[in-house]
C-alpha cells in the first residue's frame, strides 16, 4: 500500500497538470509540455500499483524521441507529435488524475 502523503503529492501534481491542460495557452503540445513540467517529479513509488502502467505509458509517450540538440527528450517528442496523439496523452493524464482522486477519497473514507 502506498503512503497517503505520496498519493496526495501525486494527486496534487496531476490535478495541476489537468488544470494546465484545460486552460493553458497554446496547442495541446505546448500545454502538454507545461503539464509535464508539473508532474515530472512524481515517481513510480507515488503511484498505486494498478495505475503504474498508465503512468509509465504517459512518461513513455512524452519521452519517445531522442533529442537532436539540447532540447531534451520531451521537447524533441512534442515537436514531432501529431495533435491527435497529444490529445490521447492529455486524456490519459486526466484519467490518471481522476483515478488518483478516487484513491485519496477511498483512503479518507477508511480512516
Where exactly are the structural domains of the chain? 4-110
Task: Tell the residue number behind the cell numbers 495541476, with chain if given.
Answer: 16
Q: Is the pLDDT of residue 4 over 90?
A: no
Residue 40: predicted pLDDT: 96
Residue 23: predicted pLDDT: 96
Q: Using H for helix, E for strand and C for coil, what is the string for 18-72?
A: HHHHHHCCCCHHHHHHHHHHHHCCCCHHHCCHHHHHHHHHHHHHHCCCCCCCCCC
Cell of 106: 477511498
Mean pLDDT, the chain, whole residue set: 92
Element housing 76 (H / E): helix 73-79
Q: Is the pLDDT of residue 7 over 80?
A: yes
Q: Is the pLDDT of residue 88 over 80?
A: yes
55-83 as b/e: b if 16+ CB within 10 A: beebbebbbebeeeeeeeebbbbbeebee
Residue 2: predicted pLDDT: 45
Residue 103: predicted pLDDT: 85
pTM of the model: 0.92
Amino acid at each position: 500500500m502506498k503512503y497517503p502523503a505520496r498519493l496526495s503529492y501525486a494527486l496534487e501534481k496531476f490535478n495541476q497538470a489537468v488544470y494546465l491542460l484545460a486552460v493553458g495557452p497554446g496547442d495541446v503540445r505546448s500545454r502538454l509540455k507545461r503539464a509535464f513540467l508539473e508532474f515530472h517529479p512524481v515517481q513510480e513509488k507515488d503511484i498505486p500499483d494498478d495505475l503504474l502502467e498508465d503512468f509509465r505509458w504517459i512518461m513513455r509517450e512524452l519521452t519517445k524521441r531522442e533529442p537532436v540538440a539540447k532540447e531534451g527528450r520531451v521537447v524533441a517528442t512534442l515537436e514531432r507529435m501529431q495533435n491527435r496523439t497529444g490529445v490521447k496523452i492529455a486524456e490519459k493524464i486526466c484519467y490518471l488524475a481522476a483515478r488518483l482522486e478516487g484513491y485519496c477519497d477511498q483512503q479518507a473514507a477508511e480512516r
